[in-house]
Amino acid sequence: MRKILIVGAGQAGLQLALGLQSQGYDVTVMSNRTADEVRGGRVMSTQCMFTTALQHERDLGLNFWEDQAPRTEGLGVSVSAPDASRPIDWVGRLNGYAQSVDQRVKMAGWLETFAERGGKVVVHGVAVSDLDYFARAYDLVLVAAGKGELVSMFARDASRSPYDAPQRSLAVSYVHGLGPRPEHPDFLAVRCNLVPGVGELFVMPTLTTTGPADILFWEGIPGGPVDVFQGIRDPQEHLRVTLELMRRFTPWEYDRALNVQLTDAGGTLSGRYAPTVRRAVGELPSGGLVLGVADVVVANDPITGQGSNNAARCAASYLADILAHGDRPFDRAWMESTFEHYWSLAAPVTKWTNAMLGPPPEHVLGLIGAAGALPPVADRIANGFDDPADFEHFFFDPGLAAAYLGDVQKQLA
């Protein structure tokens, strides 16, 4: 029986661990926290998983919260003008619903399930020196912990990383009491509010430790008026600033947030990081090799909501390659090939995400504006969040965008 060690207990690490476990592999997961510590800790992300990523969970029977989590059936875009009016506002319908489950709920539950099914869980922080030993004791070591010392083993790939500094400051609040969007009171949607020159406000339904809730998520351009959360430690002050920025820049969202309260004392998060693609293979001092997983090797800015989706894609891709490899050694060539298989899925996400971090070109503004009058365009942009590879066909090139809009207008004439 092949022995595999996975360092990190997030979306990718646990999805992969549970998938390998179901195929009879001897799997150990190392986590720096127990399931109870995860469940009782601070929020970790703003995950919204679209239909393809959710299917990866269903394929492994891991969709434990599907009947409890809110079903998000649309994705809407609003653009704020300098006077805080809304010249653009539309919503596209998703082909399959999306869902968000607070990672405190999901990761704690999955970690407990992995242990209940006989998996080994080691609760301990891991240093590079620890991995030097483990690489000799296991057939394969995967690093799925996207923060801390271990990431330094994986060199930045400059050819795939156009940014070397954070492009947004991030601030998250999980809340109860948010009112419905009057434009579509009969279904739930993720709302993306673009504030040119300032940043973005995302509002999304979620399931958290205290039940159904909503996430208020500001992404601020560094140095701008939304980049004000770094020194805030008090959760209530964090929420107050969040709401004040909503009142100033997105009053239509503020109007339905008049009665919100934080879901819990751990319901806020702030930070920033540079979007980076890294080399997939880390070399240990002894010469042993480890393979990076998900955001260890492809860390995109959350502006397109792809973090947990990429993690699910990575886990599914790596699982297929591990199973196909049989009893052969997990050498450098295999590791690099396995990553490139995943990169074929992650590259379109990275291209789109990096494009959205800069000022939108004229033809993209034209697409976003046209979506308000052309529902097929709104729907296609919305469903691109599930299949970002589709943006290659109409989003990046002005000629393709113009041809696409012309075709839609003809069809609707």
- Domain coordinates in residue numbering, the chain: 3-60+103-162+275-357, 72-100+167-271, 362-412
Per-residue three-class SS string for 178-216: CCCCCCCCCCEEEEEEEECCCEEEEEEEEEECCEEEEEE
Q: What confidence score (pLDDT) does residue 147 get?
A: 76
pLDDT at 236 over 80: yes
Q: What confidence score (pLDDT) does residue 148 get?
A: 79
Name the residue type at position 285. P
d(CA 397, CA 158): 24
What Rg, from alpha-carbon coordinates, does the chain have?
21
Q: What confidence score (pLDDT) does residue 299 get?
A: 96
pLDDT per residue over 279-326, tens digit each?
999 999 999 999 999 999 999 999 999 999 999 999 999 999 999 999
**Same-fold call for 3-60+103-162+275-357 versus 72-100+167-271:** no
Mean pLDDT of the chain: 96
Q: What confidence score (pLDDT) does residue 1 get?
A: 80
Mean pLDDT of 390-400: 98
CATH architecture of 72-100+167-271: 2-Layer Sandwich (3.30)
Q: What confidence score (pLDDT) does residue 413 get?
A: 84
pLDDT at 81 over 90: yes
Mean pLDDT of 171-184: 96
d(CA 221, CA 350): 19
**3-60+103-162+275-357 belongs to which homologous superfamily?**
FAD/NAD(P)-binding domain (3.50.50.60)
Name the residue type at position 232. I
Mean pLDDT of 233-239: 98
pLDDT per residue over 108-161, tens digit each?
999 999 999 999 999 998 888 889 888 899 999 999 997 778 999 999 999 999
pLDDT at 250 over 90: yes
Identify the band that residue 350 occupies on the pLDDT scale cut at 50, 70 and 90.
very high
User: What is this structure's pTM?
Assistant: 0.96
Burial 187-215 (b: 16+ CB within 10 A, else e): ebbbbbbbbeebbbbbbbbbbbbeeebbb
